[in-house]
Structure 1
């Protein structure tokens, strides 16, 4: 893998050196955009008070990333500083607050405010190189709530990966087909490489459908991790959209898998309804799979740049995972939240 890294950088240098070096008047664009969000969440079929164990304080929640506290809570403030020249540019994506801190905490070695930090070079209209820390290309959902219809996140998203650091090349094969190739640190090791482990990534796109691959030894694990992921969506009418995500992850016989449908229906310019129906499971050799079905119904009501998201969610596991209001073990948990997401640019 180390030799592959060296060859990759040599090829990149040759590609850059072969370009026309004639200076052009750049069309520069500097911008600041981002979002802020907050929410209220409550369990309907379980207690809402905090619990203590040997690992610290926790709340009974669906077990996915973010929106995991009871009562009124904060999401994050997101500030994206970007520069776009005629061929080169950068993105500095900074996050503050619980949602942002949880996201970058899972990216080992990252400072507690950097979500993304990368520079890029648009070599031609068909080839672009990016170097730095960027959010993952796998999956349907993203860290920022602005990019998701549901406010809470799926199990597939929550089990990662979240972010990568490395070098990627985006290639436009035709008007409809695209290809992305990447060499990166171990998953979620965003600004440090502890043992020389590297991960290869690839994405083949056709219009709005994407097939994603991840393969490589991860820090702390002697066996390589393989993940294949499909993300897509299609308009089934003027007001009806259907999104799809499916993934499979394996490391030496253990990992996770899942699939989800995201039907969304637009009722008016201000109001839309969306459902996430997800089946997810952990697999391990010689053990029964631990699986969950989660249904999340959300509404998006937009007032200018502010989106109000009321959401009801039901998670049902194959084993006792929660407690009911009498503190008896339960396989299911119903919860409700309402979030406010404001975006600016």
Structure 2
């Protein structure tokens, strides 16, 4: 599972927020005078979370002398985001961009716990608030080149809560990848067909490439249905021992294939679909999910996410979904979600049931079992 790096960067937040606000003001002035193509958008979100049958608080662990040696955290699903107990913060997302006839850029900044989780990969231990930062060139009407750091092309769900129907995220999304750094070429092939080719850093290393290895991505799309592929080496191919001698080591090679799509069954009923498989030298994961959504009025939609997710070898323990003696584990999750629109504000009540193949969820009696029932109430404002 993705590692979370917590940093303190209040000064950076204030400075960059001022810069973005200044950019927005400049854009508004230009728009009035010259029809400028600058844009400014983003979102703010917060939530409340509680378990029905899980631990809702942290419990200190003491040694025999009465000194604290650790803590049992509040119980949460083994997926990313919306995992803190009680009232909690999501993130502030500020996006500035420019769209020219041929060239443009996007600067996407994130602040808060969800933002920290999203940009965990690089650089190590340093403040990082950049979710996306890229430039693009429309080489022709059918070809666009993008250079920089951009969110992944794999999967049904994304980092921004404004683009997801469910507020909590799936296991497939949480295992990633989240983002890439590199160069990609998008092609409009006509007749609803599209394609993409990319040369990338190893997965989620969005600011640096410490390994000297490259990954490669590809996508083929037709009428809203996409087949995505990602592959490449993910580690060091030269390692030295304590004497400085070269030690041979196997470099982990990642391969992932993913299907993302959906269908309008009727004017008010949509069915989203996601399936993925990843292998990294024998260890990996696979899963599938359905996203039926029914619009009951102009302001309310109800939806369900049903997901099966399984891991092999070391992945199970890292994910927090549990694993057996061979390192294999699985989880089945059902999430019932409502979206109530109040202008630009979306209220999202959610009931989630996680059932793991192993006993990993801690209850209020500090006992472990294989299931967790939880509730989330989120508020997401997009602008």
Paired residue for 2:293?
264
Aligned partner of 1:137 among 153, 159, 178? 153
Task: Tell me the C-alpha RMSD between the 2 structures.
Answer: 1.8
The 3-state SS of whatever aligns with 2:190 is coil
The 3-state SS of whatever aligns with 2:117 is helix
Structure 2 vs 1, CA of residues 63 and 106 (structure 1 numbering), >3 Å: closer, same or farther? farther
Q: Once the two structures are superposed, what CA deviation does each residue of 1:245-268 show, in whole Å capped at 9, x if it has no partner?
A: 000000111100000000000000
- Indicate conservation of the 8 Å contact 2:257/2:277, yes or no: yes
Paired residue for 1:79?
94
Structure 1 residues 218-229: aligned runs within 5 Å: 218-220=234-236, 222-229=251-258
For structure 1, the residue ranges without an aligned partner over 5 or more in a row are: 1-25
Q: Once the two structures are superposed, what CA deviation does each residue of 1:54-100 show, in whole Å capped at 9, x if it has no partner?
A: 78773210111010100000000000000000010000000011101
Q: Once the two structures are superposed, what CA deviation does each residue of 1:139-185 show, in whole Å capped at 9, x if it has no partner?
A: 00000000100000000000010010000000111131100000000
Separation of aligned partners in 2, 1:55 and 1:207 = 52
Paired residue for 2:280?
251
Separation of aligned partners in 1, 2:216 and 2:70 = 34
State the Cα distance separating 1:223 from its structure 2 match.
2.3
Aligned partner of 1:92 among 89, 107, 112? 107
Pair 1:200 & 2:229 matched: no
Greater fraction strand: 1
Structure 1 residues 54-69: aligned runs within 5 Å: 58-69=73-84
Separation of aligned partners in 2, 1:52 and 1:190 = 36
State the Cα distance separating 1:287 from its structure 2 match.
2.6
Aligned partner of 1:236 among 238, 258, 265? 265
Paired residue for 2:47?
39
Separation of aligned partners in 1, 2:227 and 2:70 = 37
Aligned partner of 2:226 among 193, 210, 222? 210
State the Cα distance separating 1:215 from its structure 2 match.
0.5
Separation of aligned partners in 1, 2:146 and 2:71 = 39
Q: Once the two structures are superposed, what CA deviation does each residue of 1:108-165 show, in whole Å capped at 9, x if it has no partner?
A: 5574210000000001110000000000000000000001000000000000100100
Instruction: Give the TM-score of the pair, scaled to structure 1.
Output: 0.89
Paired residue for 1:124?
140
State the Cα distance separating 1:242 from its structure 2 match.
0.1
Instruction: Give the TM-score of the pair, scaled to structure 2.
Output: 0.80
Separation of aligned partners in 1, 2:90 and 2:149 = 22
Paired residue for 2:198?
182
State the Cα distance separating 1:214 from its structure 2 match.
0.3
The 3-state SS of whatever aligns with 2:81 is coil
Aligned partner of 2:374 among 313, 335, 338? 335
State the Cα distance separating 1:325 from its structure 2 match.
2.7
Separation of aligned partners in 2, 1:87 and 1:69 = 44
Q: Once the two structures are superposed, what CA deviation does each residue of 1:268-317 show, in whole Å capped at 9, x if it has no partner?
A: 00000010000000023993630000000000000000000000000000
State the Cα distance separating 1:244 from its structure 2 match.
0.3
Paired residue for 1:149?
165
Separation of aligned partners in 2, 1:57 and 1:92 = 38
